[in-house]
Amino acid sequence: MKQNLSRSLARVRDSFLAFTTGQKVVAIIGGAAVLLAALMVFRWAATPNYAPLFSNLASSDASAVIDELDAEGVPYELANNGSTVMVPKDQVYATRIALSGKGLPGNSGDSGGGYSLLDNQSISTSQFQEQTDFKRAMEGELAKTIEAMDGVDAAIVHLALPPAKVFADQQDPPTASVMLDTSAGTTFTPEQVQSVVHLVASSIDGLTPENVTVADAQGRMLSSSDAAGLGASSRDQQLTDFQNQMSAKVQSVLDRVLGPGNSTVQVTADLDFDKAVQDTTTYTTDPTAVPLSSSSQTETYAGPGGGSGSTGVVGPDGQMGPGVGATGGSGSSSYKKESVTEDNAVGTVVEHRETAPGSINSLHAAVVLDTAAARMINPSDVEKMVAAAMGIDKKRGDTLDVSTMAFDRTADNAAAAELAAAKAAEKKANDMAMFRNIGIAVAIALAVLLAWLRGRRRAKQREDATTYLVEQLRQDAARRTTTTAAVETSPALAALERSENNAADEMRRELADLVERQPEDVAALLRGWLVERP
């Protein structure tokens, strides 16, 4: 067995030494690749399949769980920025039961806050304790809900819930404050801040979005309350977005006319963020409509004046003054009075109008055109076009200024030169990579071709040597056949022949091995014999 193994190793070594340089490189690289693949497969098969043991752990709980796993010798991995502990899948339940028996984790899940605080209340719980537990439970639930948002690592919610009063007009409104710890590289957008504000406001009875304040872990105010319900950051963001939108609208028009880079636009807007409420009551009537009710009164008086006395108007002191047309003894008078009262139907229109914040008080725009590009264009036409695109209203106080100036192209030329240099360098790198790949491909093709030619030549030499040996063996067999009869008549000659045959067989095996190991040397030797042969 040992000799067979040594012989096999010797054959492998001799075969490898007989390879050409290219074949040796290919064999080494192929063997290394096979070994690497086998190692990776073995490592993958030997690596245990991990599953979550606990998720959303606090830092203190995660540290306690890891210490216990180290003490028990259980392998583990951390995920989700250290908030999830993973162990081999076949050990999850046993490890979880063992840690739960030791009170781990202590503050994770519902044990650290939320509605679970209300589970331990008894009949002896005071009203103050009940209100405090309710406030803590709401704070915990809101913090968990906010932490479920993408990009939020931790959230702290504080609620200020004033005690209820008898009269509603004396009730103080509730307020809330939220502090967020976002993930590294994550910035909360105004829309996300507003979603947090409205989420908290909708969860507490009587809480309005204006009374919710949001800040981040760095102490920056993300949302502040004001009368209009818009924070200062929201107003600035809306103003910036509006100005950028107007500038982009005008810039797109100018780029189509003058070409990109030949004009610039700057827009300044004055927006009204005040919230206005207007109540209007208007009364209307229809003259052609039938009155709801009507009444008329007529009074007529006719007769002579007083017979013996004078007629007149009673004065302030009760004395009778002279009357018009008074006579000494007789006269005539007449009096007539008519009044009509009608109740018509009156229509009432009540209008309640609220003006949303963000209306435009005024717009101010400045447009600068490049002198070289604006030679064939009338600036007044550009001014009319920009005014129509922006909706400039001079009665509102809007201003628009269009001017032409020579642009400084130094930065543009430098950028163009750098871009051209970068493109040239990239093209050169691509060309070099292509040439290198082509050279490698040609070298590999040449190595394969040379290996093929070398193998073909060795195969031809092996075939020639084998043919010669077969011919020699055939001649030996013929000679042995002619002497068989003579050998059979003498036992001594038969024994001698058998020993010679064994020696010849051993020599043929060694010669065949030599041909397999060194076909080129055997072929050269045979060619030398053939040349020297008469």
Give one word for 279, left, alpha or beta, with left for phi > 0 and alpha for psi -120 to 50.
beta
Are 395 and 260 members of one domain? yes
Cα(43)–Cα(476) distance, rounded to whole angstroms? 59
Three-state SS for 203-236 is HCCCCCHHHEEEEECCCCEEECCCCCCCCHHHHH
Contacting residues for 419 by C-beta, under 8 A, at least 6 apart? none
Flag whether 58 is in a domain.
yes
> What is the Cα 123 distance to its own chain's centre?
50
The CA dihedral of 167, 170, 176, 177, to the nearest 10 degrees, is -160
- Quick one: average pLDDT of 178-199? 85
For residue 54, give the 3-state DSSP assignment.
strand
What is the per-residue pLDDT for 380? 87
- Quick one: average pLDDT of 369-378? 85
Number of Cβ within 10 Å of residue 230's Cβ equals: 23
Domain that holds residue 454: 427-479
Are 251 and 388 members of one domain? yes
Do residues 367 and 401 lie in contact, with contact meaning Cβ atoms separated by under 8 Å? Answer: yes
Higher-confidence residue: 519 or 413? 413
Are 142 and 212 members of one domain? yes
Q: Give the domain CATH number at 76.
A: 3.30.70
Q: How buried is 484 (Cβ within 10 angstroms: 0-12 exposed, 13-18 middle, 19+ buried)?
A: exposed
Are 205 and 248 members of one domain? no
Q: Is the pLDDT of residue 400 over 50?
A: yes
Are 255 and 400 members of one domain? yes
Are 461 and 499 members of one domain? no
Please give the DSSP secondary-structure letter assigned to residue 74: -
What is the per-residue pLDDT for 225? 54
Q: Would you list the DSSP string of 299-357?
A: EEEEEE--SSS----B-TTSPBPPPTT--SS--EEEEEEEEEEEE--EEEEEEEEEEPS
Flag whether 311 is in a domain.
no
Are 54 and 38 members of one domain? no
Are 34 and 54 members of one domain? no
The full length of the chain comes to 534
Flag whether 433 is in a domain.
yes
Flag whether 314 is in a domain.
no
Cα(438)–Cα(432) distance, rounded to whole angstroms? 10
Q: What's the chain's average pLDDT?
A: 78
**Structure tokens belonging to residue 283:** 């009364």
Flag whether 485 is in a domain.
no
Are 246 and 363 members of one domain? yes
Max mean pLDDT range (95-104, 351-360, 437-446, 496-505): 437-446
CA terminus-to-terminus distance, the chain: 47
Q: Shortest CA distance to 303 belongs to which of 277, 336, 280? A: 336
Give me the sign of the Cα torsion angle 119, 124, 129, 135.
positive
Q: Is the pLDDT of residue 337 over 80?
A: yes
Cα(55)–Cα(53) distance, rounded to whole angstroms? 7
**Structure tokens belonging to residue 159:** 């609620």
**Structure tokens belonging to residue 12:** 């492998």
pLDDT tier for residue 460 given thresholds of 50, 70 and 90: confident
Q: How many domains does the chain have?
A: 6
β-pairing verdict for 84-88 and 50-54: antiparallel
Q: Which residues pair with 269 in a beta bridge?
A: 363
Q: Shortest CA distance to 513 belongs to which of 454, 469, 473, 460? A: 469
Number of Cβ within 10 Å of residue 476's Cβ equals: 13
For residue 361, give the 3-state DSSP assignment.
strand
The CA dihedral of 414, 415, 417, 422, to the nearest 10 degrees, is 140
Q: Which residues pair with 176 in a beta bridge?
A: 159, 212
Are 12 and 152 members of one domain? no
Q: How buried is 21 (Cβ within 10 angstroms: 0-12 exposed, 13-18 middle, 19+ buried)?
A: exposed
pLDDT tier for residue 175 given thresholds of 50, 70 and 90: very high
Q: Which residues pair with 284 in a beta bridge?
A: 347
> What is the Cα 170 distance to its own chain's centre?
47
pLDDT in tens, 472-508: 667 766 766 665 555 454 555 555 556 656 666 777 7
Flag whether 73 is in a domain.
yes
pLDDT in tens, 203-217: 998 899 889 999 988
What is the per-residue pLDDT for 476? 66
Higher-confidence residue: 411 or 308? 411
Higher-confidence residue: 431 or 325? 431
* Of 148-152, 230-234, 407-411, the least confident: 230-234
Are 73 and 143 members of one domain? no
What is the per-residue pLDDT for 365? 93
Cα(392)–Cα(265) distance, rounded to whole angstroms? 14
What is the per-residue pLDDT for 495? 59
What is the per-residue pLDDT for 108? 47
Cα(386)–Cα(436) distance, rounded to whole angstroms? 56
Are 259 and 387 members of one domain? yes
Q: How buried is 367 (Cβ within 10 angstroms: 0-12 exposed, 13-18 middle, 19+ buried)?
A: buried
CA 76 → CA 61, 65, 103, 390, distances in Å? 15, 10, 19, 63
Q: Is the pLDDT of residue 221 over 70?
A: yes
Report the percentage of the chain scoring pLDDT > 90. Answer: 11
Q: Is the pLDDT of residue 240 over 60?
A: yes
For residue 283, give the 3-state DSSP assignment.
strand
Do residues 152 and 109 lie in contact, with contact meaning Cβ atoms separated by under 8 Å? Answer: no
pLDDT tier for residue 398 given thresholds of 50, 70 and 90: very high
Side-chain-side CA neighbours of residue 373 (13 Å) = 20
What is the per-residue pLDDT for 465? 67
Single-letter amino acid code for the residue at 359? S
**Structure tokens belonging to residue 68:** 């216990």
Higher-confidence residue: 326 or 260? 260
Cα(234)–Cα(182) distance, rounded to whole angstroms? 19
Flag whether 22 is in a domain.
yes
> What is the Cα 251 distance to its own chain's centre?
29
Flag whether 254 is in a domain.
yes
CA 337 → CA 296, 301, 302, 314, 340, distances in Å? 11, 9, 12, 21, 11
